[in-house]
Amino acid sequence: MLKMSIMEDAMAATSQPVSRGPVPGGLAPQSLPLPEIFARVSRHVPAIEWPALAPDIEAILRLKRERNAVILAHNYQAPEIFHTVADIVGDSLALAREAVSVDADVIVLAGVHFMAETAKLLNPAKTVLIPDMGAGCSLADSITAEDVRGLRARYPGVPIVTYVNTSAAVKAESDLCCTSGNAVEVVRSLNAPRVLMIPDEFLAQNVQAEVPEVEILTWAGHCEVHERFTPADIRDVRESYPGVTVIAHPECPPDVVAESDFSGSTAMMMNFVIEKRPAQVVLVTECSMADNIAAQNPDIEFIKPCNMCPHMKRMSLKNIRRALETMTHEVTVDPALAERARAAVERMLAVRAR
């Protein structure tokens, strides 16, 4: 079984429940603006804070209609985005797939820059906006197109599988892409004795454990969120919460994945929790994952540690509203480069469709 991990930002890992109820303050939910939408996030957004958020949500819902826009939000987005204004939510694979058939003139990507580029690759005629151009990714920043050309020259004939967490320029130099949800299938589909899987070293090592018949060469890129988890974090939480279920993302180091009960992409994590309904669970990944599942599953207790991704957290209701008001920041990709990058993404989607 492939085990997966994710990493988040600067929050110190602590063993505390993630979920929290609305703060007392005498505010009855029905007296609040947008009460039905508030009900979706009331476990994570204190009632006293809601009146400050509601005007932006209301404006975003109106602007979406006026612009014929949709919002694609990654699973790491905060509940006040994920459960209120997003039209399509999911992991990188789901967003890439849904972006193909989205029926809108404008796509707002509540995620990081490579995701917006992927949406643009698959929707060249649509306007793709990202609310903050600075929303990067340590994996995407770890490798350049020139690096990939160097690898191809060094390993002639070895297929190059590139994680979607990369720039369009890197994808354009690759044979096909993968996500953490389909990496094993993609490698197996090649029927090759050796494969270059870039740039996530830990994902490649975790896939290698699942596909021992293939020699997987990799690159020293890491997710700055997931690389911070350690086996000691997992042992500590098991000691504090006997019987807790531990689920790790495959961007985690292999020794962290080895300590977990299950590993998979964020979508696989979500499905696992919803189907198995463990009483207590720790998601070894970005903190908003647990918040987003907890919002609709109050009977499950989510335990930290988790880490936050500073890039994902650059998204806010305020900058999503501004993006729709001003139609910024538009994400573009050079058409010639886009054609090659799109081919790598489409080869991945074809593998999934087999």
- The distance of closest approach from Cβ of residue 254 to ligand SF4 in the complex, given in angstroms and rounded to an integer, is 17
Q: Figure out which of the listed residues 89, 119, 121, 137 binds ligand SF4, where binding follows CB under 6 A.
A: 137
In sign, the C-alpha dihedral spanning 90, 96, 100, 103 is: positive
Closest CA to 330 of 105, 174, 7: 105
By CB under 6 A, the residues from 261 to 290 that bind ligand SF4 are 286
Q: Figure out which of the listed residues 3, 43, 120, 311 binds ligand SF4, where binding follows CB under 6 A.
A: 311
In terms of CB distance, is 112 or 324 closer to ligand SF4? 112
- The pair of three-digit structure tokens given for residue 327, joined into one six-digit string: 């139609």
- The distance of closest approach from Cβ of residue 176 to ligand SF4 in the complex, given in angstroms and rounded to an integer, is 19
Please state at what angle helix 317-326 crosses helix 50-67, rounded to 10 degrees. 30
223 assigned ligand-binding residue: yes
- The pair of three-digit structure tokens given for residue 171, joined into one six-digit string: 């994808």
305 assigned ligand-binding residue: no
Closest CA to 67 of 330, 329, 326, 332: 326
Closest CA to 178 of 224, 155, 210: 210
What burial letters (b/e) apply to 231-259, b meaning 16+ CB within 10 Å? bebbeebeeebeebbbbbbbbbbbebbeb
Cα–Cα dist 291/19, whole Å: 6
Q: Is 94 in the site for ligand SF4 (CB under 6 A)?
A: no
Q: Figure out which of the listed residues 2, 41, 198, 312 binds ligand SF4, where binding follows CB under 6 A.
A: 312
- The distance of closest approach from Cβ of residue 325 to ligand SF4 in the complex, given in angstroms and rounded to an integer, is 26
- The distance of closest approach from Cβ of residue 293 to ligand SF4 in the complex, given in angstroms and rounded to an integer, is 17
By CB under 6 A, the residues from 200 to 229 that bind ligand SF4 are 223-225
249 assigned ligand-binding residue: yes
- The pair of three-digit structure tokens given for residue 161, joined into one six-digit string: 């599988």
Any idea what DSSP says for residue 142? G
| x-marked contacts with ligand SF4 along 99-118 as a string, rule CB under 6 A | -------------x------
DSSP H/E element including 27: none
Residue identified by tokens 């669970």 is 281
Q: Figure out which of the listed residues 42, 84, 162, 165 binds ligand SF4, where binding follows CB under 6 A.
A: 165
The full DSSP string for 198-243 is: ESBHHHHHHHHHH-TTSEEE---B--TTGGG--HHHHHHHHHHSTT
266 assigned ligand-binding residue: yes
Cα–Cα dist 203/101, whole Å: 28
- The pair of three-digit structure tokens given for residue 21, joined into one six-digit string: 């109820």
237 assigned ligand-binding residue: no
Closest CA to 23 of 1, 52, 45: 45
252 assigned ligand-binding residue: no
In terms of CB distance, is 54 or 256 closer to ligand SF4? 256
- The distance of closest approach from Cβ of residue 112 to ligand SF4 in the complex, given in angstroms and rounded to an integer, is 5
- The distance of closest approach from Cβ of residue 183 to ligand SF4 in the complex, given in angstroms and rounded to an integer, is 14
Residue identified by tokens 């964020």 is 266
The count of residues interacting with ligand SF4 (CB under 6 A) is: 14
180 assigned ligand-binding residue: yes
- The pair of three-digit structure tokens given for residue 97, joined into one six-digit string: 């797939």
Binding residues for iminosuccinate: 74, 92, 163-165, 180, 249-251, 266
Q: Which residues bind ligand SF4 (CB under 6 A)?
A: 6-7, 112, 137-139, 165, 223-225, 286, 309, 311-312
Binding residues: 74, 92, 137, 163-165, 180, 223, 249-251, 266, 309
